[in-house]
Amino acid sequence: MSAPTCNCSVTTPVLSSSISATCESTRMWYAFLSSSLVTFFGGLLVILICRMFSYMCCPGYSEESKPMADSEETDDESELTEKKNTGRVIEVGWMTAVKDWAGVMISAQTLIGRILVVLVFMLSIGALIIYFIDSSDPIETCKNFFTDTTLQVDLAFNLFFLLYFGLRFIAANDKLLFWLEVNSIVDFFTVPPVFVSVYLNRTWLGLRFLRAMRLLQFSEILQFVNILKTSNSIKLVNLLSIFMSIWLTGAGFIHLVENTGDPWLDFSNPQKITYWESVYLLMVTMSTVGYGDIAAKTTLGRFFMIFFIFGGLAMFASYVPEIIELIGTRKKYGGAYTSVSGRKHIVVCGHITLESVSYFLKDFLHKDRDDVNVEVLFLHSVPPNLELEALFKRHFTQVEFFEGSVLNSNDLSRVKMEEADSCVILANKYCLDADAEDASNIMRVISIKNYHPKVRIIIQIMQYHNKAHLLNIPSWNVKGGDDVICLSELKLGFIAQSCLAPGFSSLMANLFSMRSTMKFDGDSWQKHYLAGVGTEMYTEYLSTSFVNHTFPKVCELCYKKLNLLLVAIEVNYENDETKILINPGNHVKVQEGTLGFFIAQSAKEVKRALVYCKSCHEDLSNPELIKACECKRKRDSGRKRTLLHLLGIASKPNNAPSLPPPYPDATAQRFSNRGTPVQGQQHSNRPVGRDSTKSRNESSGSVQVIPTSPSPVNPGQVQQSEVDTSMKYDVTGMFHWCSVRDINKCLLSRDRATMTVLSGHIILCIFGDGKSPLLGLRNFVMPLRASNFHYHELKHIILLGDLDFIRREWDTVCNFPKISVMPGSPLSRADLRAVNVNLSDMCVILSANQNGIEDPSLQDKESILASLNIKSMQFDDSIGVLQANSHGFPPHGTTAEKIVSTAKGITSGSNIPMITELINDTNVQFLDQDDDDDPNTELYLTQPFACGTAFAVSVLDSLVSATYFNSNSLTLIRTLITGGATPELEAILAEGNTLRGGYSTPESLANRDRCRVAQLAIFDGPFADLGNGGNYGDLFVKALQTYNLLCFGIYRFRDINDPGANPTSKRYVISSPPDKFVLVSSDLIFCLMQFDYCAGNSGTSSQDLDSQDGDESISYTSSSTLPQQHFQDESGTSYNSDIQNQAHGTLVRSSSHGNPIYRRVQCRRPSTPIPNSLPFFASTEPQLSKSVSSASPLWTPPPVSQTMFKRNESVPKFPNPATVTRASRIMGMGRKSRQLTPDSGYLSPPVSESQQSFSSCA
């Protein structure tokens, strides 16, 4: 049995092998080719016969009318009707309906159609891949359909192609053209052979390579699915698809003929070559290289290569360079942003340069920000240069650049603008045309809001008046977080506040900029300055332990217990309006969920205000040990952080009503009850009506009688005797106002200015001509004319510059009082001496805005030259007498000795208080000739900036980051800087570009009751005991408890700790010193002062005495024993005085029948007992000159024999804010004698002669 088994097993493989050999030896390629040719020509013949029959049966029949003819022939079979407006009924046959349906299916107009088109293309590529697989086998092989997987898959694909071919045929209008299309020919030579393969159980590669022609539709498919959108990308894909389809199709033909051989030679000369070798052969042929390693040997192959060389070479020479060019010109940064779950991103656009980006990233990605989980996307139309590209690579984990424009919706889609947390638009601070720059940025806002209205936008603009255009955008939403950073408004506002409190610009700029704390060895001024530089402004919700405590009490607790400085709180009103109250006073109680504004070293320290628990942390002396406790009260507080916080008014015990909504024109600083008439106060008999709107610089002859015992008022209440119908303030009550003043009446010639000895004024040096860009001087004047100053406290402003330029700006400042114009040049010493630059409170030098200069160092040449020119000037004591006598007459009511006495003080220009604006930060090295600053030193580390004598607009770049992380920070800064600009006021200025006056009502006057920045001198007065060796913390608490003054910095002499240095008048700023910081008597303290500054926590008040028309005032400080003098009060009572004076006050001048009357504005503080036997007394007569012109806005007090003073009952030891800055500057800037104590090493307080000084606030 074993033998038969063995024979059988041997015979079976031999039989199978013989059958396979017999199958492959038989060639049946003609059957496959015939199926394709019969299908093509048979269908073509049928179409031609049908068309011929149509022409014969229907003469004049055209293809255009054929669809309508088909519809008319099938009227009886129609089921769909459509009625037109004319009433005509158009019936559609079922053939037309099917045709329309088929057309929709293949045109990708619907979702199903797009899916069908994409599926056909993908299956075509799949069929081509099957061809690549089968190309490794012989050209013709025997395969069993039931066992061969590739043949089964290929059949399924071709069945789908056949169905799609039918749809295309039905939808075709011209069947003949459809039959001759490339895609139809591809189907003819690829679909029928598959069915033949199933029938014959054999395959023939044949013309299946024609499936590569489907690649021609690749671009069209990508457009259907919205992948290709730009012309360059569409063109690139078209070129690639054409090149690849022709290349692969030609390779397939070479592979077929070379492996088959010539038919007329009975296929006896085949060459075994793979498909990929054919691809290589065609590429070498097209590129004209022709290595010769592979070549066509058949006659058909060589004949094909002859024609392919012509077409292939032309295609290679034209397509390949164009493809390379398109790929090369493709944007390197033209991709799209892929958002990361759980991570926010912002888009930065506008002016993208190395400088602007480095400033922004340095502050935005600062390490002190512990919550920066934000990715920054920069979008700009110009690719970055090498330096900027290197900067992006250093921050590649958080920064990404995209090339494009926000004006293009496609680019906005690339950066996912609809998902962005915010969009920041940076402005070009050095542009030639500020209005054009603002217009371009506003157009960017319009484009972004049009793309997605809810995107939060933070935009920088140059000019203040362009802010109104943003309000015209319907989707602009301030409540949604949209913010405007006006560079000119903030820049000039900082400089204006420095005129009131020198050094404030540098101190405030350091607070909103993120800078790390730097260590400095030794006890030099750099050590204390850099310690303050590290402080920033943060926000955090207050713990429930502070609930129902007054603001001063909470502020004291935060400072003493938490080592935090609380400066303001945010309040939500019943009408969902949010306001910020800056140092609101003791009548305000903190409620749960109140947001506080802090000055601290880091955000980690500010967390103490949230986690503080009285029961757990009250006994802790180290603030660093204050952590979140586990008590339930603390956990509840953490969950309630997002609750609305309310505010209460502590007017009576057990009575804390909720704060009502603010007045429409009120700002977010401080709110008070409406003003009520003061009992016993007599009113001035000035006429009421339009006649009373004339400038208060003119004498009206009215006398205001002040009661000797004014009635007490509630804390924080603005006093008013009646509703004054005269227009002294603007319609919002936020600024002093006067009727329009003609610039010609405000001109000061050099001779007239020389005869009018100006003092205590502000000089604004302006460079520019009639064609220079405007500066926006209104932004400089408005903070100096805020209504929270009394009228006699306003400092006179002298505009020194080109008259043509000032005329262009005059319309914006003509409604502010106490402004004069001096035509001239800031570089002229004669003009500077004429306006008494040595007697000014501040000299401001603004840049010329000449940004067209190529060399950056020359952009500030005028400002630097003017600054150095003033510093090199020398002033003789008798200069005023010589100038006045040169005209043949001295000023009225003065003598030469009196003027010489007044002019004593500054003899060197280097001691003149001055602040210079710079365009280029590096030019700060040229301002001080005695400093050793490195030219590469950052601006905030230079001596001029630390001393507050230099300011550059570049420091405002940090505001962008501060605004993004805390939208309230910009509101707080604008409130402090602008003096109270409100959205209502901006809307008014946007309409008429002029300030409108308004009648004084209780509601508008209530807006005057708000905080302002001041400087407090401690060399004398109630804080004199802390001047030598006292702690800053004790001063902070005493000022807060007694006078409601919130101290936040020190302005100290630079060389106070260096006994070996030459005495200098230069000071530097120290931000938020620590509790144990040692004070010296010459320090000036930055503080936030209440409008009613006498109304401290003890319930004191002061008279709200605004000098009326014709009133001027003299501020004084005196603390010495004076000779016996004769005084006479307004009632005619005379008395003598010879005692130790400890008084501070203000002398207000009124006119009565041509004779001036001086009355004293005095604060009364009942809680501090003062002996009634202490009468008021003043020092010697202030010596000021008066111009001979009666129209002069300045005046001079008469001799002492014509002066009468009002006598008061008590004189408290209180520093008058109207005088502390002036008096302390006399000491600090070298106006009077100053002594350097050898044993102490610091500047001592002035001697009595310097303390008996007066200054004009006119």
CATH (domain of 262): 1.10.287.70
* One domain for residues 207 and 232: no
Residue whose token pair is 């997002």: 642
**Pair 151, 60 in one domain:** yes
pLDDT for the residue 671: 30
Residue 890 confidence (pLDDT) above 90: no
CB 249 within 8 A of CB 223: no
DSSP run (H or E) holding 130: helix 111-134
* 1205: exposed, middle or buried (Cβ count in 10 Å: 0-12, 13-18, 19+): buried
Is the CB of residue 483 less than 8 Å from the CB of residue 458? yes
Per-residue pLDDT at 1087 exceeds 90: yes
The residues, any chain, with a CB within 8 Å of residue 1217's CB and separated by 6 or more, are 1014, 1016, 1089, 1093
| 107 plus 199 within the same structural domain | yes
For residues 779 and 858, the answer to whether their CB atoms sit within 8 Å is: no
Residue 992 lies in a domain: no
Q: Give the residue, 646 or 201, on which the prediction is more confident.
A: 201
pLDDT of residue 644: 33
Q: Is the pLDDT of residue 393 over 80?
A: yes
Q: What is the pTM of this model?
A: 0.67
Domain assignment present for 679: no
How high is the mean pLDDT of the chain? 74
pLDDT in tens, 1103-1115: 333 333 333 333 3
823 and 958 in a common domain: yes
Confidence category of residue 1244, pLDDT binned at 50, 70, 90? very low
1131: pLDDT confidence band, cut at 50, 70 and 90? Answer: very low
Cα end-to-end span (Å), the chain: 138
Average pLDDT over residues 1128-1149: 36
Same domain assignment for residues 238 and 200: no
In a domain, 1014, yes or no: no
Average pLDDT estimate for 1076-1082? 91
- Quick one: tokens of 1022? 């109630």
pLDDT tens-place string over residues 1247-1256: 333 333 323 3
Query: So what's the pLDDT on residue 245?
Result: 92
Q: Tell me the average pLDDT across 342-370.
A: 88
Q: How many residues belong to the chain?
A: 1258
Q: Is residue 794 part of a domain?
A: yes
Three-state DSSP class for 775?
A: coil
Question: In the 3-class helix/strand/coil scheme, how is 670-693 assigned residue by residue?
Answer: CCCCCCCCCCCCCCCCCCCCHHHH
> Quick check: 1141 pLDDT over 80?
no
Token readout for 70 is 């088909």
pLDDT confidence tier of residue 834, bands split at 50, 70 and 90? very high
- Cα gap 1251→1142, rounded to integer Å: 11
Please name which of 1254, 948, 914, 1224 lies closest in space to residue 1085, comparing C-alpha atoms: 1224
Higher pLDDT pick, 505 / 1188: 505
Residue 631 lies in a domain: no
pLDDT at 1063: 66
Q: Looking at residue 965, what is its pLDDT?
A: 87
CA 88 to chain centroid, in Å, comes to: 63
146 and 207 within one domain: yes
pLDDT at 905: 55
pLDDT at 84: 43
pLDDT in tens, 684-709: 333 333 333 333 333 333 222 223 23
Mean pLDDT, residues 296-304 taken together: 90
| Domain around 387 | 344-481
**Amino acid code (one letter) for 207:** L
On the question of pLDDT at 853 being above 70, the answer is no
**Does residue 940 fall inside a structural domain?**
yes
Are 151 and 295 in the same domain? no
Is the pLDDT score of 1125 beyond 60?
no
Kindly report which listed range (223-227, 477-481, 519-523, 588-592) carries the lowest average pLDDT score. Answer: 519-523
In the chain, the percentage of residues whose pLDDT exceeds 70 is 69
Res. 532 pLDDT band, cuts 50 70 90:
confident
* Pair 108, 114: CB distance under 8 Å: yes
Coil, helix or strand for 501? coil
d(CA 1113, CA 624): 50
* Cα R_g (the chain), whole angstroms: 45
Q: Domain boundary residue among 430, 464, 481? A: 481
Pick the last residue of a domain from 968, 984, 1005: 968
Based on the fold, state whether residues 373 and 258 are members of the same structural domain. no
Exposure string (b/e) for 1131-1153, b if CB count within 10 Å is 16 or more?
eeeeeebeeebbbbbbbbbbbee
> What is the percent of the chain where pLDDT is above 90?
29
Is the pLDDT higher at 1195 or at 533? 533
> Residue 742 corresponds to which amino acid?
D
Distance between CA atoms of residues 406 and 352, nearest Å: 13
| pLDDT exceeds 80 at position 70 | no
HSE value, Cβ hemisphere, 13 Å, CA-based, for 468: 13
**What's the pLDDT score for residue 1119?**
32
Tell me: do 1158 and 1244 sit in the same domain: yes
CA dihedral 348, 352, 358, 363 (to 10 degrees): -30
> 461-519: per-residue pLDDT in tens?
998 888 888 877 889 988 888 999 999 999 999 999 999 999 999 999 988 888 776 66
pLDDT score of 1231 more than 60: no
Q: Which of 295, 330, 365 is the last residue of a domain?
A: 330
**Interval 1055-1060 mean pLDDT:** 71
Query: Is 693 part of any domain?
Result: no
19 CB contacts (<8 Å, ≥6 apart)?
none
CATH of the domain at 377: 3.40.50.720
Kindly indicate the confidence band of residue 366, based on its pLDDT and cuts at 50, 70 and 90.
confident
User: What pLDDT is attached to residue 20?
Assistant: 53
Across the chain, how many H-helices and E-strands are there? 41, 36
Assess if residue 1221 is contained within a domain.
yes
Is the sign of the CA dihedral 691, 695, 699, 703 positive or negative? Answer: positive
Residue 1250: what pLDDT?
A: 32
More confident residue, 1179 or 152: 152
Average pLDDT over residues 130-158: 88
Q: Is 169 left (phi over 0), alpha (psi -120 to 50) or beta?
A: alpha
Coil, helix or strand for 765? strand
Q: What is the pLDDT at residue 848? A: 74
Q: What tens digit of pLDDT does each residue of 649-678 get?
A: 333 333 333 333 433 333 333 333 323 333
Same domain, 172 and 282: no
Is residue 39 located within the same domain as residue 162?
A: yes
Q: Mean pLDDT: which of 105-119, 268-282, 442-456, 587-601 is highest?
A: 442-456
**Domain check: are 164 and 265 in the same one?**
no
pLDDT digit string (tens) for 249-280? Answer: 999 999 999 998 888 888 888 888 999 999 99
Domain count, the chain: 5
